Every structure is written in C-alpha cells, then in structure tokens.
Amino acid sequence: MTSGAADGRVLDELSGYSDGPFALVEAYATQRARFLRYVAGLDAATWRTATRCSEWNVHDVVRHVRDVAALHVFQLGGPFPGFRHTREFDPVVTPTEWLAASSGESPQDTVLELARLVEEERLLRAKAETNPSETITGALGRTLDWSVQSIHTFWDAWMHERVSVTYVMGSVLQ
C-alpha cells in the first residue's frame, strides 16, 4: 500500500517514508516538544474538560498519548510498557482498556512519565542510524519497514494533540 503527494514524497509499507527515517526523527522531536509544552501549562479544570474523543477528557487523551509512547519505545527496543490487551487490537476498545492501568493517576504524574518516554524515544534516532532498512511484522500481520509503525504512532500523537488543543483551547499549536 502506497500513498503519495504531488511533491513526490511517498510512504510505502516496505520501504518507509521516501525522505528517510531521519525526517521522522525530526518530526517526532518537534511534535513531542510542542505537546509537552502544551500539557505542562494546563490548569486543573482543563485536565477535566471533555474532548472530541467522546468518552475521554483531556487527561484521558494525554494518558493515551503516553500509553502509545510507551508502546513505541517498546517497539524500538525499550522496556515492556507494563500493560497488555487480551484480544486483537480494537481501536474502539483497546486504548480504553490500557487507560485502566493508570486510573487515578494525577495529571502531573502523566506529564512526568510522558516526558521520560519522550527521552527514551531517542531510540528512534539510534534505530535510524543502525538499522534503517529493518522490517517488522505489523499489527495486521503484514511485513512493514520499521519506520511505518513509528509513523503510525506519530500520527496518533499528532491527531490526539489536535483533538485536545483545537477542541478545548480553540487554537492550533505553533
């Protein structure tokens, strides 16, 4: 499966992003820093505010981004994230099951853990440097360039950043 744009950039399951894995490394660094700045400045009322994810408030969305970051670090060779799901991944059910593991966690603890995981995502640069053409088996059982999985986690973080920011704050992050 391939998608392309008029400028010639292509994302391909077997060869990754045509601009190479370091473009992904830079995009991650920018998005993660921006998101951490945003969540570090939230007040108590905003953490409880509903988002476009109909069953999640801002804290739930940030916990989800943190959970996906934990999985991303694990996929890059880091430690096991500590939570499991008992069936095939279901995008409606599974992330909510993951949130159960951090029920009752304070927003401050969520931000600290996300910041720690962002530091661990330095494994992304190491992977790009040492094994840029590695393939993995994706969630659907197909062979993928390793960076495609990272691109998916990047998209998830970016999308949820937009869900919480544009809906709750009425603006787009710079």
DSSP one-letter code for 132: T
pLDDT band at residue 1 under the 50/70/90 scheme:
very low
118/136 Cα distance (integer angstroms): 22
User: Is 139 part of any domain?
Assistant: no
User: Is 106 part of any domain?
Assistant: yes
24/158 Cα distance (integer angstroms): 13
Examine the pLDDT at 42 and tell me if it is beyond 70: yes
Beta-carbon count within 10 A of 158 CB: 17
User: Is 99 part of any domain?
Assistant: yes
User: Is 81 part of any domain?
Assistant: yes
Decide if 76 contacts 127 (C-beta within 8 A).
Answer: yes
Domain span including residue 32: 23-120+148-169
pLDDT digits (tens, 9 = 90+) for 95-151: 888 898 899 999 999 999 999 999 999 898 998 999 888 888 876 778 999 899 899
User: Is 1 part of any domain?
Assistant: no
24/3 Cα distance (integer angstroms): 16
Beta-carbon count within 10 A of 43 CB: 9
User: Is 16 part of any domain?
Assistant: no
User: Is 11 part of any domain?
Assistant: no
147-170 mean pLDDT: 82
27/40 Cα distance (integer angstroms): 20
pTM over 0.95: no
Q: What is the pLDDT of residue 5?
A: 53
Q: Give 78 or 67, the one with higher predicted confidence.
A: 67
Domain count, the chain: 1
Q: What is the pLDDT of residue 6?
A: 54
Residue 114 phi, psi dihedral angles, 5° rounding: -65, -45
User: Is 128 part of any domain?
Assistant: no
In CATH, what number is assigned to the domain containing residue 61?
Answer: 1.20.120.450
